[in-house]
Amino acid sequence: MNDKNRITFGLIVFIAIVTFPFWYNLGKASSAPELKLSEKAKAAKECVKPKEIMRQEHMQILDLWRDTVVRDANRAYKSGSGKTFGMSLSSGEESCLGCHESKTEFCDKCHNYASVAPYCWTCHIAPEEKKPEENKPEENK
Amino acid sequence: MNEKYLYSLIAVIALFLLAYAGVEAAGLQYLFGIIIPYLAIITFVVGFAMRIMDWASSPVPFRIPTTCGQQKSLPWIKHNKIDNPFTGGAVVIRMILEILFFRSLFRNTKCKMNEGPRISYVWEKWLWLFSLAFHYAFLTTLIRHLRFFLEPVPFLLQILEKVDGFLQIGLPGVLISGVVLLAAVIFLLLRRILIPQIRYFSLAADFFPLFLIIGIAVSGIMMRYFTKVNIVGVKELTMGLVTFHPHIPEGIGAIFYVHVFFVSVLLAYFPFSKLMHMGGVFLSPTRNLPTNTRAYRHINPWNPEVKIHTYQAYEDDFREKMIEAGLPVEKEL
């Protein structure tokens, strides 16, 4: 006598759990999100740092900006290429969202795919998104 | 230095160099990012199943639980239902407490010789505490990584990430499970290295998984907080793996391939190592059997069939002769 049936059942459950990602995604095509640069960003041509670095390190830049503004009251950032940016998440033309005008079409696309939910928006307000006119970002602090 | 942990450490460093050089110098992204992970997961699943089925084909032994309480006995003796289970239900409760809370580690004590010589057993909960921290942190980390393998990412997973990152320190936010995992595994390693008795009975096979897991944790933490990799590219690669459309996106750092290689080695090594205690804990006969040996007869499953001749049958055969000879019989003619 042995407990083969019960053990086999447990093993099948275990394998089902281990292979869960394979059947969860069954028949779904996956592709990374296509990012749409806003007109303003296209005109500006360059970001704070080269694209590859932005992709990986933009949160660290934001962290640095946040600390610099709040601790040193310094709101202007000189980039490597000599351009000046406003060290702000969402206020002013030269801030992240001042240039990348649409949060949903840009930041969120990536973040949803990678499942990151920055908590910034519990305090900061993203500029209102209206397609045709250029909206001045809200003063929100 | 002790060669047992030195060998394991050297093995893990060699694995690191292999993956790092393989990707940076030889451009073997396809090997380290796709072929090896697939082989590893196949080895893990098939090896795990074979190991378990091998155990499953052994007969259930005579009840041999290690018990920590009074066995069911006379009605006026208090029975410890969980630590000395009598029924299947009580065994299930005992197993759940063992698997989720490591109760047998909680009983760990340290034996000390005092002056006299007198022996004393001292409170020792650190092993239990750090094992529990280690296993739960590992589980959380593992579940969290599903965000790379599922699209869309389920809601519950996002909740878990929120809870794990609730300290909101720095950007990207510190995840508690990663820090706890590394701290706990380093404790478990130091315990084996620094305590002489434990060092004496530790083998290379005890150190290797620890070093490997440290390698995995360190490479993961490096990627997330320090050297940074292109996360969107990483998810493209992992989603390619789970949807069977594997491809290698451009521009993912070599450290990512090192991380994946470490994990692949861990998975492939798993079924052949002590790590099988993951499945084995469910099958340990000192835990998963009720202590009902006094109430139920155990029949050894491989007993050969023995032809028996009872006294009654013997008497039936020879009754007349026995009566003739004046021998007493149980049943008269």
Residue B216 sits in the same domain as residue B91:
yes
Residue B314 sits in the same domain as residue B276:
no
Chain A residues contacting B, CB < 8 Å? Answer: 1-4, 7-8, 10-11, 14-15, 18-22, 24-25, 28-33, 52, 55-57, 59-60, 62-63, 110, 112-117, 119
Residue of B nearest to A30 (CA): B239
| Binary contact (B230, A119; C-beta < 8 A) | no
Tell me the residue range of the domain where B320 lies.
306-333
Length of chain A: 141
Residue B189 sits in the same domain as residue B320:
no
Residues contacting residue B232 through CB under 8 Å, at least 6 positions apart: A32, A33, A55, A110, A113, A114
Residue B102 sits in the same domain as residue B177:
yes
Q: In chain B, how many domains are there?
A: 2
**For each of chain B's 333 residues, which pLDDT tens digit applies?**
578 889 999 999 999 999 999 999 988 999 999 999 999 999 999 999 999 999 998 887 788 999 989 999 999 999 999 999 999 999 999 999 999 999 999 998 888 888 888 999 988 899 999 999 999 999 999 999 999 999 889 999 999 999 999 999 888 999 999 999 999 999 999 999 999 889 999 999 999 999 999 999 999 999 999 999 999 999 999 999 999 989 899 889 899 999 999 999 999 999 999 999 999 999 999 999 999 988 998 888 788 888 999 999 999 999 999 999 999 999 887
Residue B314 sits in the same domain as residue B175:
no
The CATH code of the domain that includes B16 is: 1.20.950.20
Residue B206 sits in the same domain as residue B263:
yes
Residue B244 sits in the same domain as residue B313:
no
Determine phi and psi for B123, rounding to 5 degrees: -50, 125
Residue B78 sits in the same domain as residue B123:
yes
| Binary contact (A25, B153; C-beta < 8 A) | no
- Give the long-range contacts of residues B30-36, CB within 8 A, separation 24 or more: B30/B248, B32/B257, B32/B260, B32/B261, B33/B237, B33/B246, B33/B248, B33/B252, B33/B257, B33/B260, B34/B237, B34/B240, B34/B241, B34/B246, B34/B248, B36/B260, B36/B261, B36/B264
Distance CA B94, CA B299 (A): 25
Distance CA B27, CA A131 (A): 44
| ipTM score | 0.86
Residue B81 sits in the same domain as residue B194:
yes
Residue B14 sits in the same domain as residue B111:
yes
Instruction: Identify from A12, A17, A30, A64 which residue to disrupt to test chain B contact, counting B C-beta atoms within 10 A and taking the largest count.
Output: A30
Residue B170 sits in the same domain as residue B310:
no
Residue B217 sits in the same domain as residue B315:
no
Residue of B nearest to A35 (CA): B232
The answer to whether A115 touches B146, Cβ cutoff 8 Å, is no
